[in-house]
Amino acid sequence: MLTLSLRLGRRLAALPPRAKIWVMVGGDALFLPLCMLASVALRLGSVSGAFETSPRAQLGFALLALPALSVAGLYRTVVRYIDLRVLAAASAALAAVVLLVYISAVAFGIQVLPRSSLLIFWFIAFAYVVSSRFIARSLLRRSLRPGARPRLRTAIYGAGDAGAQLALAMQFSTEYKAVCFLDDRTSRQRLTVSGLRVYSPADLDEAVIRHDVAQIVVAIPSANAAQKRRLIQRVESSGLPVKILPGLVEMVDGRPEVSDIREVDVADLLGRDAVPPDPALFARNIAGKVVMVTGAGGSIGSELCRQILSQHPRRLVLLDHSEFALYTIDHEVLHAAHGTEIVTCLGSVLDEALLRSLMQRNEVQTIYHAAAYKHVPIVEANVQQGLRNNVFGTLNVARAAMDAGVETCILISTDKAVRPTNVMGASKRVAELVLQAAALRSARTVFSMVRFGNVLGSSGSVVPLFRRQIQAGGPITITHPDIVRYFMLIPEAAQLVIQAGAMARGGEVFVLDMGEPVRIADLARSMIRLSGLTEKTAERPDGQIEIKAVGLRPGEKLFEELLIGDNVIPSGHPRIMCARERHIDPALLDKMLASLRLACESNDTESMLRQVRNLVPEFRPADEVNAEASAALASR
């Protein structure tokens, strides 16, 4: 029987659209008269009596329903995607035909058929239309999945409107099959929604066993970031893959579809809601102005370009020394410019003449200096190039900005500049000192710095690395079991950088609120669980993914800080702090930088490190700082 239905479904599916319409019309032309006959038989209580009661009138009345159903759109609807709105329209069309015939019979005194049989016909005909379409839909859907893998049996967390609509959408899916709901609301638990039972999250294990659940989809798009994190944490312990529906704003029409389901991203685990930017601050240094971004092709630089374009600058100047990175961001922004002139320049911040020419020729008013070497082990192994690019590149930008009369110059700094244990962090702290000195010297250009931690999705981020390692079957490699880091989404970081720069008066170090630090090992374990896998440990040797600590990299420390001192001033923005930190007298800084430049020119590593320590006395060996941190952790 199943084979026969599959064959029939495949033949129906193979028909051209016009032929399918004629099949539907032909079927209705056959069965609607039978529905009319059945209604008369029910009214008279006799089948033989129904055959003797005006068969021509019965046939004519039944066939009168065909044009009405056509007007209702029943024959224009693809059967596989038929919904309740079309069926409701068909019901109304049948009711209109019954009412029209009934009124005509009363008005003209026609007594060919029992009038009450007309109402019975409406019920029977509507039942036929609904059942025939759903049977056809089922046949077609089965026939389109021959030999395909079984649909993933899915538990939907959230039995609200979004969850119910998602369950309905899954009826048409070749990938997913909704089998039950989970919901926190006791009023919904143990009820049936869209034909599926609703369980309490506390009964998750029972639901998984009873319904053979293969994955869980969190379908509460109205939840904020913190609520989503809690929801995900409740179900990740099940050991099943967990996916999520995006927020209402991300969905095109607010109606969830199967295609909206996505993997749980690390951003969902951070539980952090972005604060909408202040429109006045966001536009202050950008709208109608000439803006320049150095390192425009990098992770932060490219996102700054996107955010800047949203405020409609007069001109956007892109500078990067990577041809491919510059090509990529140039290609993207040209499609989103909307009247903004785009100037693309291939070059390095080490070329001071180029910087001066670029700023003066384009009359640059605002600079976001994001160009830097930022990967700790690489800079640790290439001290000279790291210092030249990060320190003297920043010095060139500052000098050119002052000479060109730039209004605002903002340095993108890092939490690794705070009590650094590596050359990269120390070089960024020296870059901060350069801008602090420039702020003291300049009467026109406002210099400031914005300091923040790791951003999710940047080049070298652990998140894509962990994802690749999980897909490859492991192991996941972390540097140390106790290492912690601050994380922020790139769009939020770029928005806060722009707003911080707009609040600057000169010389401030703005520090972004990064939330709570994240233990990298815990992040790796969450990613394993959310992939539906288990961690392989000594206690669980049958686990699938092992987490290996491979040792801290040169210059890396267990934890990062955001402030050097305690002198924090509120900025007026809930996610931005302002700090006034130690600076060096500009004249003295010039001499110290000259000594550092000589050390770089001679490529003497010991001399370079000695000069950096003179500039940043808090620069200490990573081993020493990590030993203190480990001792503090052990004493807790």
The two structure tokens encoding residue 260: 């909206």
Least confident of 17-31, 158-172, 215-229, 596-610: 17-31
Q: Which of residues 217, 240, 264 is at a domain's end?
A: 264
Average pLDDT over residues 458-480: 81
More confident residue, 44 or 314: 314
As a residue count, the chain comes to: 636
Residue type at position 351: D
Q: d(Cα 4, Cα 312) in Å, to the nearest integer?
A: 63
526 assigned to some structural domain: no
The two structure tokens encoding residue 333: 């922004």
**pLDDT class of 392 with cuts at 50, 70, 90:** very high
Asked if 123 and 230 sit in the same domain, the reply is no
Q: Write down the pLDDT at residue 141.
A: 60
Q: Which of residues 238, 264, 290 is at a domain's end?
A: 264
- Spell out the residues 6+ positions from residue 256 whose beta carbon is closer than 8 angstroms to its own: 162, 165, 166, 169, 219, 221, 245
Q: Which backbone phi and psi does 204 adopt, to 5 degrees?
A: -60, -45
Tokens 């002139």: give the residue: 341
Return the SS3 of 31: helix
Asked if 170 and 127 sit in the same domain, the reply is no
Nearest to 501 by CA among 451, 564, 565, 568: 451
User: Given a cut of 50, is residue 309 above it in pLDDT?
Assistant: yes
Asked if 28 and 170 sit in the same domain, the reply is no
Q: d(Cα 21, Cα 159) in Å, to the nearest integer?
A: 36
Q: What is the pLDDT of residues 217-252, one digit of tens each?
A: 988 887 777 778 788 878 877 778 888 887 654 544
522 assigned to some structural domain: no
536 assigned to some structural domain: no
Look up the CATH number of the domain holding residue 164.
3.40.50.720
635 assigned to some structural domain: no
Asked if 213 and 99 sit in the same domain, the reply is no
Least confident of 7-16, 309-318, 493-502, 550-559: 7-16
466 assigned to some structural domain: no
Asked if 202 and 122 sit in the same domain, the reply is no
Q: Write down the pLDDT at residue 241.
A: 85
Q: d(Cα 568, Cα 581) in Å, to the nearest integer?
A: 9
**pLDDT class of 108 with cuts at 50, 70, 90:** low
Q: Which of residues 217, 238, 264 is at a domain's end?
A: 264
Least confident of 160-169, 243-252, 442-451, 584-593: 243-252
The angle formed by the CA atoms of residues 94, 96 and 100, to the nearest 5 degrees, is 120
**Element containing residue 330 per DSSP (H, E):** helix 323-334
Q: What is the pLDDT of residues 589-616, one digit of tens each?
A: 999 999 999 999 999 999 999 999 999 9
pTM for this predicted structure: 0.70
User: Quick one: 369 exposed, middle or buried, by C-beta within 10 A (0-12, 13-18, 19+)?
Assistant: buried
Do you find a cis peptide bond into 16, omega within 30 degrees of 0? Answer: no
User: Given a cut of 60, is residue 186 above it in pLDDT?
Assistant: yes
Q: Write down the pLDDT at residue 43.
A: 81
User: Given a cut of 70, is residue 527 above it in pLDDT?
Assistant: yes
Asked if 257 and 399 sit in the same domain, the reply is no
Q: Write down the pLDDT at residue 16.
A: 64
Average pLDDT over residues 348-363: 96
The total domain count for the chain is: 3
Q: Write down the pLDDT at residue 567.
A: 66
Asked if 373 and 234 sit in the same domain, the reply is no
More confident residue, 263 or 326: 326
More confident residue, 193 or 455: 193
Asked if 171 and 259 sit in the same domain, the reply is yes
Q: Write down the pLDDT at residue 77.
A: 62
| Contact status, residue 271 vs residue 228, Cβ threshold 8 Å | yes
**pLDDT class of 432 with cuts at 50, 70, 90:** very high
User: Given a cut of 50, is residue 349 above it in pLDDT?
Assistant: yes
- CB atoms near residue 491 (< 10 Å): 15
Strands 315-320 vs 290-294: parallel, antiparallel or unpaired: parallel
Asked if 173 and 129 sit in the same domain, the reply is no
**pLDDT class of 561 with cuts at 50, 70, 90:** low
Percent above pLDDT 70 for the chain = 84
Asked if 26 and 86 sit in the same domain, the reply is yes
Asked if 89 and 222 sit in the same domain, the reply is no
**pLDDT class of 526 with cuts at 50, 70, 90:** confident
Q: Write down the pLDDT at residue 2.
A: 44
- CB atoms near residue 417 (< 10 Å): 28
385 assigned to some structural domain: yes
Q: What is the pLDDT of residues 360-381, one digit of tens each?
A: 999 999 999 999 999 989 999 9
Asked if 402 and 320 sit in the same domain, the reply is yes
302 assigned to some structural domain: yes
Q: Write down the pLDDT at residue 252.
A: 47
Q: Which domain holds residue 336?
A: 279-453+487-516+560-627
37 assigned to some structural domain: yes
Least confident of 374-378, 446-450, 535-539, 595-599: 535-539
For the chain, the average pLDDT equals 82
The two structure tokens encoding residue 266: 């690390």
